[in-house]
Structure 1
């Protein structure tokens, strides 16, 4: 198909497709003339993936490029897939070399995490410190509840990883990491609305 057909099929403007081509997010088509190329279903799939990562995934162009590179060069070990996926979507913000609150919590839960993954532990450390600084410290059983819920979700998610192909497994893990996290946050907020309506709709706060 020509670029106009690729645009029509995916709903992505031609100018945007050309930008993705220049940025290396989309591979070149097969040249049929000096200024004309043919595109195929592989371009359609890649274009939809790029749009998902940049759109609902909220990644930058640079981060999207990292994700695509990891997808093109998946590791052989199933366990290494998760680390590669998380590296691909790690934030560019500066991480903290020490995270005592996070490490203490993870040790209490007995979680085995990558000691080199400072990004995730820094995020947890900053979140815990933010709660502490604001004087808003949830009971310890709340943190345990969150941890148990996330561990149960992680177990179920990883049970679904397709291990027949390292490329498909990598794709599943990366997209699950990028696209499911916003889903979890949205569901939590909607669950709060539902729970609040059920619990507090008829209760007025005391003056």
Structure 2
């Protein structure tokens, strides 16, 4: 298909498609003449993934580019693809070194030990969690840490559901894309569901005025 049809089918404007090609986010089409290129269903699929990561996942283009780079490397284990996707969601902001952050890191390490999770406290996710705990304490809500195990239990259930979804894929391309979609868009979906659950819980606890 020509770029105009690709634009129509994907909903992405032609100038944006050309920009993605220049930035290396989208492979160039196959040249059919000096001024014409042909695109296929793979280009449309990639465009839809880029827009989903950008519009729903909220990732910056630089992060999307890094995730796509890892996805395209056939030598990359799925575990590393998952790590790249997770890092793109919540990169560490490089919290101020000090006792607060160190205490929070200890809390994270203790949580991982209690849960028996096979991950490091110093991983991007661990650092992000430590920074959240610091922010909670600075805001006067340090006791929120008491909910860590409840949150972790819910996260385990969601993680198992994510991996079950990925496990239904057979082709590596589908597996890799499933990992990225499940990590990035699954994060957005869980946040939306959590907001809905808050409304329901508030309505049940405090009455009809809490609805909406």
Give me the TM-score of the superposition, normalised by structure 1: 0.85
Partner of 2:18 in structure 1? 18
Gaps of 5+ in 1: none
**Within-5 A mapping of 1:6-155:** 6-75=6-75, 77=77, 79-87=79-87, 89=89, 91=91, 93-94=93-94, 99-114=105-120, 117=123, 119-136=124-141, 137-138=143-144, 140=146, 142-155=147-160
Is the 8 Å Cα contact of residues 26 and 43 (structure 2) preserved in structure 1?
Answer: yes
Deviation larger for 13-22 or 150-159: 150-159
The separation in 2 between residues aligned to 1:31 and 1:94, in whole angstroms, is: 45
Deviations 1:49-78 (A, max 9, x none): 111111111111111111111111144655
Partner of 1:199 in structure 2? 205
Asked which structure has the greater RCO (Cα within 8 Å, sep 6+), the reply is 1
Deviations 1:80-99 (A, max 9, x none): 55335435555263367852
Q: 1:100 to 1:115 in 2, by over 3 A?
A: closer
Give me the TM-score of the superposition, normalised by structure 2: 0.83
Gaps of 5+ in 2: none
Deviation larger for 9-18 or 101-110: 101-110
Deviations 1:5-55 (A, max 9, x none): 111111111111111111111111111111111111111111111111111
Deviations 1:124-144 (A, max 9, x none): 10111222222211372x322
Q: 1:132 to 1:90 in 2, by over 3 A?
A: closer
Looking at secondary structure, tell me which structure has more helix per residue. 2
The separation in 2 between residues aligned to 1:42 and 1:11, in whole angstroms, is: 15
Q: Which runs of 4+ in 1 moved over 6 A?
A: none
